[in-house]
């Protein structure tokens, strides 16, 4: 069974040559495996989600042009769980983690760590729900381990169940990012991917993006063309 799955995964990867922006439907090979498209409001550019590190190594999520960097990576939500995974090869999978590796002050120009540091500005306090959380990849589950990834139509979202919000001190009841993510410059000056649990608040210096399943988007487009 494992060898058959590995063969199917390899076949699905080979169906995505780096310059092929048609992005064929990976669900034909492995249900749930897909390239993640990053979409900005009003933009028609073709961006996808990649890692900042070479394949198989821990890294952070990056937003890049679809035709840069070779074969687009495949992601899936592990069967029987709500953990998003990044497929590397037949023997290597990386966890997609949501980590709090920053401080609220870094997201204001009144903090020296901010990319647009302005000593005249006072730091603006952020609520626990507004603090940006970075999306990162590693071999081990890290960060907010009680979070849940799910698809809502073509849209990828991240949520915390009521038990987790209480334990983390971020309110009560289920909290969701409602599918809202942010493209922000990280500490290394790369286009990192972040989210928070107050999607009405956009961190300073960031732009709002949403993450989508390429296969589901293509299926929806075909359905509309056939109507």
Q: What is the largest CA-CA distance in the chain?
A: 62
Three-class SS state of 25: coil
**Residue 44: per-residue pLDDT:** 61
pLDDT digits (tens, 9 = 90+) for 86-136: 998 888 899 999 998 666 556 555 444 455 556 666 666 677 788 889 999
Fold of 2-226: Trefoil (Acidic Fibroblast Growth Factor, subunit A) (2.80.10)
- Judge whether 181 and 210 are in contact, CB under 8 Å: yes
**Residue 6: per-residue pLDDT:** 39
Rounded to an integer, what distance in angstroms lies between the CA atom of residue 34 and that of residue 72?
A: 9
**Residue 195: per-residue pLDDT:** 94
Full-model pTM: 0.78
Q: Which residues of the chain have pLDDT under 50?
A: 1-30, 110-113
**Residue 102: per-residue pLDDT:** 65
**Residue 199: per-residue pLDDT:** 86
Query: And the tokens for 124?
Result: 């603006």
- Judge whether 136 and 186 are in contact, CB under 8 Å: no
**Residue 52: per-residue pLDDT:** 92
**Residue 103: per-residue pLDDT:** 60
Cβ neighbours of residue 33 closer than 8 Å, sequence gap 6 or more? 9, 12, 26, 27, 74, 75, 76, 87
Helical ranges in 169-206 per DSSP H: none
**Residue 126: per-residue pLDDT:** 72
The structural domains of the chain, with segments of one domain joined by +, span 2-226
**Residue 4: per-residue pLDDT:** 39
């Amino acid at each position: 069974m494992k060898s058959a799955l590995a063969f199917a995964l390899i076949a699905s990867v080979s169906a995505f040559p780096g310059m092929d922006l048609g992005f064929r439907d990976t669900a034909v090979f492995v249900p749930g495996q897909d390239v993640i498209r990053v979409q900005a409001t009003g933009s028609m550019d073709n961006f996808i989600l990649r890692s900042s590190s070479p394949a198989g190594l821990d890294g952070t999520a990056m937003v890049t042009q679809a035709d840069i960097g070779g074969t687009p990576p495949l992601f899936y939500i592990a069967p029987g769980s709500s953990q998003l995974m990044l497929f590397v090869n037949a023997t290597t999978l990386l966890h997609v983690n949501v980590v709090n590796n920053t401080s609220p002050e870094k997201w204001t120009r009144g903090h020296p760590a901010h990319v647009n540091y302005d000593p005249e500005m006072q730091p603006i306090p952020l609520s626990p729900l507004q603090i940006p959380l970075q999306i990162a990849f590693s071999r081990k589950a890290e960060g907010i381990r009680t979070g849940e990834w799910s698809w809502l139509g073509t849209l990828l979202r991240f949520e915390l169940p009521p038990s987790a919000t209480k334990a983390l001190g971020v309110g009560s009841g289920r909290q969701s990012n409602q599918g809202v993510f942010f493209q922000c410059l990280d500490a290394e000056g790369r286009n990192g991917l972040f989210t928070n649990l107050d999607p009405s608040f956009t961190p300073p210096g960031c732009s709002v993006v949403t993450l989508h399943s390429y296969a589901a988007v293509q299926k929806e487009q075909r359905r509309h063309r056939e109507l």
